[in-house]
Structure 1
Amino acid sequence: MEESNFIYVTYISTTPEILWNALFDPKMTEQYWQHENVSDWQSGSKWEHRRFDNGEVLLVGKVIESASPRRLVLTWADPADADHEEKHTRVTFEIDPISDVVRLTVTHDRLKAGSEMLRDISDGWPKVLSSLKSLLEVGKPLPRLW
C-alpha cells in the first residue's frame, strides 16, 4: 500500500499552554470543531472524538506520546476499526513557541494514498485549525464550514 502524509502548519498568537488546552479540552473543541476530544491524554490511554450534541463517537484511537504542552502523538481510526490497529492512521501535534507566537504543526500520516480518509482530512484539518486560530486570536471561531 502506498502511503501519504498530510502536514499543516500555522502560527497562532498565544502560548503553548493555552493552545494545548484548546486542542484537547472538550469545552474548547466544541466551540471551533463542534466535537469533543475525550481522554486523559496520557501515553497508552484511549481517546474519542464525539459529537457534542448527541455523544456519537466519530473517531477513536490511542495516545502514543504525550508531552504537555509541546507534543502529542495519537492514532486515529473509524470506530469500526478500533480493534484493527493496521487500519489506524497517526496524528502528531507539535507546539513550538517562537517569540510571541506559537507554531502548530499537525502531521497526519500512515494514510492510504487516494483514500477517503486522506480526502476528508485534507479538507477538514485546514478548516478546523483555521477556526481554532480565529477563536484564540479574536475570541470567536469561524462560522461552521462543514
Structure 2
Amino acid sequence: MVIWIVLAVLVFLILIGFVCYTIISKFRNYQEQARLQIADAFVNLGVPEYQFVNPELEIELLKVVKKEVVSIKNNFGLARNNRDWEENRIKKNCFNIVKDYYEKDSGKVFKHLGAIKNQHLSKSQILGDETISIDERNRLIRELENEISKHKE
C-alpha cells in the first residue's frame, strides 16, 4: 500500500515538474522573440548597435515588446494556418513600439519611416505625382522609350 502512495506522489511531482518546465520554456521563448524583434527593429531603423541613454527605457521597452508578442501569440493562436500574418503583425507592431522608444531616448524623430518600412506603397505613390492622368503617363513613357531607341541606333 505504501509503495502505491509513493508511486502516486512521484507521478504527481513529475507531472507538476513537466508543467512548470513547459511554462518556463514558453516564457523564455517569448523573451527571446522579444529581444530578436527589438534587434530587428533597430536594424530597420538604421542603428543596429544602439545603446540606450536611459537604461530604464530599455527595460521598459523589453517588457512592452514581450507583452505585445505574448498578446498577439495568445489572441491569434487560433489562426495557426496563417503564421506569416501573425509574424508580420508582431514585426510591424514591435517596430512601431521600438521606434517610439528610440525617439524618446535619442530625441530623433522619424516622421514617415514607419509607413515606409511597414506598408506597401500604392502604384500612385511609386509613380509619383497623382495629378497626371494614366494616359498622360503612358504617353510620356512611350516618348521616353522612343528617344531611348533612337539613341541606341
TM-score normalised to the size of structure 1? Answer: 0.30
TM-score, normalised by the number of residues in structure 2: 0.29
Quick one: higher RCO (CA 8 Å, sep 6+), 1 or 2? 1
Higher helix share: 2
Q: Higher strand share goes to which structure?
A: 1
